[in-house]
Amino acid sequence: MTQQLSFDQPIRFFNPAFMARIRKHIKLRNILLLFSFILFLIAWNRGIALLYGMFTLVVSILIVGYIFPYLSLKGVSVSRKHPLQVTEGEPLMITCHLRNARQTKRCMLELIDSIPCANGDMKAPLCFIPRLKTEKVIKFEVVCDWRGVHTLGPLRLRSSYPLGIHRVESMLPGTMSQVVVYPSVFPIDRMGFEDSSHADVSGVEAATFHGNSGEVMGLREYRSGDCMRHIHWPVSARQNELIIKEYETINNTDICIVLDLNRTDNVGQGKHSTLEYSVKIAASIAQYGLTRGHRVSLVGHGVEPVYLPPGTGLHYLTNILEILAYVQADGNIPYEQTMRDAAARTGASGILVVFENLHPGRKKMDHRLLNMPGTRRIIVEFDSQSFITGEKAATPGGRYERNGITVYRVGRDDDLVEVFNQ
C-alpha cells in the first residue's frame, strides 16, 4: 500500500523561537571567528602554510573590525542646544555641534538622542554622519507630543567603521538637559462670564462691552490719561475741544480654576487621562479669561501645593502655563477639601471652575460645599468610563445646564473646541 503525504500544514523542523535565537547570533563576526578557528585547526593538523596565511588574514580582519570602531569615537565630542520651553504640539528645534579633536577624519558615525516627549520614532532620533573632519552642525526638529518637564539625552555616539563587523556605542557625558513643554490651548468663544454686573468705563479700553462693541453710553470732556482711541473726532471738531466716548463694560471677575490632583481621581493612561484633559482645559479657560480682562487664579493639592494668586493680562498666562506644565496627580487630599479652600480664597463674587470625575472608586461630588452666597461655578464633567476603557464616549460631549449651573461634559477623544463652543 502506498502512503500519501499531505502538505496542507507547513513542515517545521525547528522551533520558531529557537530559529530566531539562531538568526540573532549568526553574524559576520561570529562566522569569521568560527572560520578562523577551523582554519587554525586544519593548518595545525596538516601543516599547510597557505592555511596559516588565510588564518592570519582572517584574524587581521577581525582585529581591524574590532579595534577601529573604538578609535573612530576617540576625540569626538558633542554638545546640544535647544529652547528651554516649548508648547505641546509645536516643533522643538535641536542643534547638535560635533567636534573632532584629532587630526584624522572620522567616518560613518551615528548620533542617537533620547527625547521622551516626542512622538513616534522621533523619541530616539538617529543622525548619520558620513564624514567628520573638524566640526559639524546638525539641526533637526521633533514635535513635543506631551506636556511636562522632560529630560533629554544622554546623547550616544555609535560606529562600526570600517568593516561593520563590530559596533561600538559610547554614551556622551554632560549631554542631558531639560525642556519644559507647556500645555496646548484651544480657542473658546464664550463661557457665560458676560452675565456679570456692569460698570461705567470712562476713557479706558473695555475688556468686554455691553451690547455691540461700538455702542457709546455717553460723551464727556477729555481728561489727562484718557485713551486717545476713545476720542469722538467729529464732535471734537465741532466743539473745538477733545470729547471722549464712554462705554459700559463688565466688571472684572475672579476666575479660580480648581485642579483635581488627587492620585485616585485620575483615570486613563498617558495623554488620554483625565488629568491631561484637565490641564488643557484649564489652560484654555485661563487664556479666555485673561484676554477679556478677568483675574485668573489656580488652586490644587498635590505633593506640592499649587496656588497662583489672581492675576490679569496675557503676560500672566505664561505663569499659568509654567505651573500647568509641572502639575501631577500625586496628591492624597480629597478634592472636596481643595474646592472648599478655593471657594474661601475666591470669595462671594468669583467663579469656580471645578472638575467632576465620577468613576467606580469615587463618591459623587458634594456641590453643597460650593454654595457660598453669590459664588458661581462652572463644572467640567468627565465621562470617566471612556477614559478607563480607552474607547470614545458613547454620549457625545457638550454643554448643558444642571440646576442653573453650566456643565461641560467631556469624554475621551472629544473635540474640545467643539465641546466648549456649542
Report the SS3 class of residue 151: strand
What's phi and psi for 134, nearest 5 deg? Answer: -125, -60
The CATH number covering residue 293 comes to: 3.40.50.410
| Strand arrangement of the beta sheet that strand 168-171 belongs to | 126-132, 106-112, 156-159, 168-171
The pLDDT score that the predictor gives to residue 122 is 85
Q: Which residue among 27, 42, 73 closes a domain?
A: 73
End-to-end CA gap in the chain: 81
- Looking at the fold, whether 273 and 410 belong to one and the same domain comes out as yes
Whole-prediction pTM value?
0.73
In whole angstroms, give the CA distance from residue 265 to residue 251.
35
* Rounded CA separation 304/312 (Å): 24
**Of 343, 260, 250, the residue nearest 302 (C-alpha):** 260
- 326 and 375 in a common domain: yes
Domain stop point among 34, 49, 73: 73
Helix (H, G, I), strand (E, B) or coil at 3: coil
pLDDT at 416: 94
Q: Judge whether 191 lies within some domain.
A: no
Co-location of 102 and 121 in the same domain = yes
| Residue 107 sits in the same domain as residue 42 | no
Specify whether 68 is located in the same domain as 81: no
Domain membership of residue 194 (yes or no) is no
User: Distance between CA atoms of 320 and 256, rounded to whole angstroms?
Assistant: 12
SS3 readout for 219-260 = EEECCCCCCHHHECHHHHHHHCCCEEEEEEEECCCEEEEEEC
Residue 10 domain flag: no
Q: For the purposes of burial, counting CB atoms within 10 Å of the CB of 399, is it exposed (0-12), middle (13-18) or buried (19 or more)?
A: middle
- Kindly state whether residue 406 falls inside one of the protein's structural domains: yes
Q: 273 and 409 share a domain? A: yes
232 and 299 belong to one structural domain: no
Let me know if residue 2 belongs to a domain: no
Domain shared by 106 and 225, yes or no: no
- Distance, CA of 131 to CA of 361 (rounded, Å): 59
Tell whether 55 is covered by a domain.
Answer: yes
Do 220 and 143 fall into the same domain? no
The closest of 75, 83, 120, 78 to 102, measured between CA atoms, is: 75
Q: Does 325 lie in the same domain as 336?
A: yes
Domain end call among 73, 99, 121? 73
- With 0-12 / 13-18 / 19 or more C-beta atoms within 10 angstroms meaning exposed / middle / buried, residue 189 is exposed
In total, the chain counts a number of residues equal to: 422
Expressed as residue numbers, the domain containing 153 is 76-182
Compute the distance between CA of residue 356 and CA of residue 100 in angstroms, rounded to an integer. Answer: 57
Please list the pLDDT of the chain residue by residue as tens digits (422 residues).
433 433 344 434 445 555 455 555 556 667 767 777 777 777 777 777 887 778 788 788 888 888 899 999 999 999 999 999 999 999 999 999 999 999 899 999 999 999 999 987 789 999 999 999 999 999 999 999 889 999 999 999 999 898 888 889 999 999 999 999 999 999 998 886 554 433 333 333 333 333 333 456 678 888 766 767 778 888 888 888 888 877 554 456 889 999 999 998 899 988 899 999 999 999 999 999 999 889 999 999 999 899 999 999 889 999 999 999 999 999 999 998 998 888 888 876 788 999 998 766 555 555 555 555 556 789 999 998 899 888 887 788 889 888 778 899 999 999 999 999 87
Please give the pLDDT value at position 132: 93
Q: Is residue 4 part of a domain?
A: no
Q: What integer pLDDT is reported at residue 169 of this predicted model?
A: 92
- Which pLDDT does position 109 carry in this prediction? 94
- Beta-strand pair 156-159/148-152: unpaired
Q: How far apart are CA 18 and CA 85, in angstroms?
A: 48
Helix (H, G, I), strand (E, B) or coil at 280: helix
Q: What is the pLDDT of residue 4?
A: 41
Does residue 80 share a domain with residue 68?
A: no
Which has the closest alpha carbon to 411: 336, 354, 359, 365? 359
Distance CA 284, CA 328 (A): 18
Residues 218 and 301 reside in one and the same domain: no
Strand pairing category for 126-132 and 135-143: unpaired
What is the Cα Rg of the chain in Å? 34
What's the sign of the alpha-carbon dihedral 381, 387, 393, 398? positive
CATH number assigned to the domain comprising residue 153: 2.60.40.10
How many domains does the structure of the chain reveal? Answer: 4
CA 183 – CA 23 distance, rounded (Å): 45
Domain membership flag for residue 216: yes
